[in-house]
Amino acid sequence: MKTSLRTSLVGVVAALVLLAGGVLRAEDIQLLSLKDPIEDPSLMFPRDVSTVLFTRSLKHLPAAGEQEIRMVDLMRIIDTDRASYYELVAAQDLTFWMSLNALQRVNHITVTGWNLEGTTVDVKYTTEPISPDEKGWKTLVEGVRLDSPCTAIRFSPTTVMQAIVTFHTPASDGKPTRVCDLAMISQQDLRDFRIERRPEARTRSPIAHNSALSWNSMPFERQPNLSGMGTGARVLYMSRGADFEQAFLVNDDDPKTSCNFSGNGSESVAIFDMTESRRVRKACLVHNRTPGEVSGYVVNHLPWLGDEDEAASADANGNGNGNGNGKTASKKKSKTLPPMVNIPSSWFAELHKLGGGRTDEVEFTQMEAPVIECRYFIVRHTRAVAPQTAKRPVWLRPMAWWFAGVAASDVMPVALGSGEAPPFTLYDVNVFGDYPPEDWEVAPYDREASLTVSGASPSFLPTSTPKDPELFTPPSPP
């Protein structure tokens, strides 16, 4: 009886070992397809109206004796690249004036940057075009502290035409204060508008790209985010374990919103479809500090999707090389995605890697490479292997005698005794090409027609909004 019981228990524990070992050794990554958010009128994605495409003019307002900052340098605060930055000096008041190209209903402002602790922000606004020294400016917020790498400044929705923004930095603590982005988030649903290339731009030759320039010195870093929802891009797939209710927040216009990937998985993957082939030269990611490494890959074809999808899109839009009418066929064409795809980890070795970096050191990962034409951008995070000590399942230690003196805690997988690791959090994904900013324009997107075609009844008043995650507060980089 004892022998039989012992044999049974040994068999059960061995089965658990094999099962857990099989899970840990699995090389396949399971991807789940996502519905296009344009088809769900209950969602709302407010857009950033402080980017170059929505700004008529921008100017530094220097104090007495100060030298005016070049507009090219100042543009880094309102470009769509949230890894480029403008560096502030200690005990400084940096004031700049911004004029939008139309009245915008602003809901909140999000400031992203490094070492912002102690920095405060003042914002004044007007609803009519006046000069900075004229009367009529109203205070929107004053003395708001920026105590995290991404701080959302919330207020009652306000109509803004012009704004004066002032950053007050504290005394020096040895760490430079860097402002990466100031996003004025509108109440308008960004899906009602489309940022697209002008038809005449498709006949132009690609611009000359000076690859010798440093990543923070691009004078033309003013084009839209090609992987953002505003350009029609969408998240096609995410690996199992992601928070799918937040999946589309990684390519909306707000750098504060995010999506978590399960800490139990060894790899986290997201695939972005830019709707057509684009000339890509750079990407940047905003994420939390999680032990591991993140990589970006570009590809023009996904093996589990038919070639006809890419061919139809290329015929309609000319692959951005001057042919076609500038419209994207895949938005009008009903494209059926396999609901679930299993891909081997070895597949990534066959793809063109744009770049990457460790995620336990910084919150921003920059990737830059020679220009390449692609349609899909893939983010892959590989979690660092956890130490194999100090996480043994205590409850198994009394069973050591079942293994003839070998402690069960020494042979059982660590995963059985350890809790879920911290999730990998992705806040924003930016992809840039070699297009000049004048190639792009903001045009109305006919959501009503799209909803009618897809069979959904149009509704422009959102009944729900995406989740509002807590501010991420990882330690500042050294």
Residue type, 178: R
- Token pair for residue 397? 């230690």
Q: What is the pLDDT, as a whole number, of residue 426? A: 95
Euclidean distance between CA atoms 198 and 194, whole angstroms: 11
Euclidean distance between CA atoms 233 and 274, whole angstroms: 4
Please answer whether residues 260 and 253 qualify as being in contact, where contact means their C-beta atoms are separated by less than 8 angstroms.
no
Please answer whether residues 192 and 296 qualify as being in contact, where contact means their C-beta atoms are separated by less than 8 angstroms.
no
Residue 111: phi and psi, rounded to 5, are -110, 125
Euclidean distance between CA atoms 191 and 44, whole angstroms: 8
Identify the DSSP state of 232.
T
Euclidean distance between CA atoms 148 and 84, whole angstroms: 17
Of 79-83, 196-200, 214-218, the least confident: 214-218
pLDDT digits (tens, 9 = 90+) for 424-436: 999 999 999 888 7
Residue 150: phi and psi, rounded to 5, are -145, 105
Output the average pLDDT for the chain. Answer: 76
Res 100 pLDDT > 70: yes
Average pLDDT over residues 95-118: 93
Q: What is the pLDDT, as a whole number, of residue 447? A: 59
Q: What is the pLDDT, as a whole number, of residue 192? A: 80
pLDDT digits (tens, 9 = 90+) for 467-478: 333 322 333 333
Euclidean distance between CA atoms 330 and 316, whole angstroms: 9
Q: What is the pLDDT, as a whole number, of residue 41? A: 77
Q: What is the pLDDT, as a whole number, of residue 362? A: 82
Identify the DSSP state of 135.
S
Q: What is the pLDDT, as a whole number, of residue 387? A: 56
- Does this model's pTM top 0.95? no
Please answer whether residues 185 and 47 qualify as being in contact, where contact means their C-beta atoms are separated by less than 8 angstroms.
yes
Band (62; pLDDT cuts 50, 70, 90): very high
Residues constituting the chain: 478
Of 4-18, 173-187, 204-218, 230-244, the least confident: 4-18
Place of tokens 């096609």: 236
Euclidean distance between CA atoms 124 and 106, whole angstroms: 13
